[in-house]
Amino acid sequence: MARLLVVLALVSCSAPRTPPSPPVANVAPAPTRTADGQVRPEATAGLYWLPYVTCHDCQTPVAIVAYVTPDPASARRIARALDGTLALGLPYIIHTDELGIAPSGIAIVTGTYSSRSAAATAAATTRLVDDRRATVFELAADAGAPVPEAPRHVTVVDRGPRVMAWSRTDLDAVEAALETTTDPDASSSMEAQRAWIRRKLREHAPACTVQPGDLFVVEERELEWYAFAPVRCGTTLAYIDWTSSLLGHAVVVPDGTGHRLFQIVGAECDSPIIESWSYDASGRRRAPESDGLVASSSGC
């Protein structure tokens, strides 16, 4: 069961990886916003309409275009082949369980669209990659429809440096120590608790490091919701900081001068807690007095 936690996770600036080549549009450019001021789906990258609204001024898409494969190795090859050829934040990778579409597998999403015809036009321009072609998938038209059950998810490591992953054993031990510690730094707030856990984890040797762009199919029961994202060190379960991943419905949106990334980092009274970062080809970063917590959509 998902643990609904209020988390104010902070991510420090870090050395960027080499940016990909400049984006090359594969569809005709469209206005960023609709006539009533909403951000058009074509200008976004990410899952922002289910189960919580991650982007409050983004228009709900009607369809997506995606390559779908059950094989993680194939998904990695497709994602690498597309990197740098699409708009920032694309391809966006998610399990079809979360989208409520078939066939079951990993969806490498190349774009979201405001009409099926626009999606079909875009799909026609995509190329054969790893013996697969992108397909149009229509989405539920009813925004109030039940959220599909998602027994599987895909952890994607975000842009940036390599990320340390911690064993399940070490994470369990540190979380158990939190329950008995008298350290005042561990109890002043949820933010302080998370910082305490991270600090104690760094007293252990990491199980491995994972690379930006690495992806892992994970089970619902393996998620440490809004705190730690499951990955694999070889075949062994391990965990990275939640905000080193793109779980929690992270969405990249143009903001007029560049892009921003919004990610669900917690929930309170069944409303999302969202954080915001400036975002570019090097990943997420803080900007003084402009980033941080976005208030949940409703109170208790």
DSSP string, 3-53: ------------PPPPPPSPP--SS----SB-TTSPBPGGG-EE--SSSS-
Residue 257 pLDDT: 87
Distance of CA 293 to the CA centre of its chain: 16
The answer to whether residues 47 and 133 belong to one domain is yes
The answer to whether residues 170 and 272 belong to one domain is no
Element spanning 261, H or E: strand 259-268
The answer to whether residues 149 and 125 belong to one domain is yes
Q: Say which residues have a Cβ less than 8 Å from residue 56's Cβ, sequence separation at least 6.
A: 297
In a domain, 86, yes or no: yes
Two structure tokens written together for 67: 């390559």
Q: Each residue of 210-250: pLDDT tens digit?
A: 999 999 999 999 999 999 999 999 999 999 999 999 998 99
Q: 102: exposed, middle or buried (C-beta count within 10 Å: 0-12, 13-18, 19+)?
A: exposed
pTM exceeds 0.75, yes or no = yes
The answer to whether residues 80 and 127 belong to one domain is yes
In a domain, 115, yes or no: yes
Mean pLDDT computed over every residue of the chain:
86
Q: Is 219 helix (H, G, I), strand (E, B) or coil?
A: strand
Residue 151 pLDDT: 92
Residues 267, 245: Cα–Cα separation, whole Å: 17
Two structure tokens written together for 205: 């040797």
The most confident of 22-26, 140-144, 164-168, by mean pLDDT: 164-168
174 lies in which domain range? 166-208
Residue 193 pLDDT: 85
The answer to whether residues 55 and 141 belong to one domain is yes
Q: Each residue of 163-177: pLDDT tens digit?
A: 999 999 999 999 999
The answer to whether residues 284 and 143 belong to one domain is yes
Residue 264 pLDDT: 93
Q: Each residue of 84-101: pLDDT tens digit?
A: 999 999 999 999 999 989
Alpha helices in 181-285 (DSSP H): 190-201
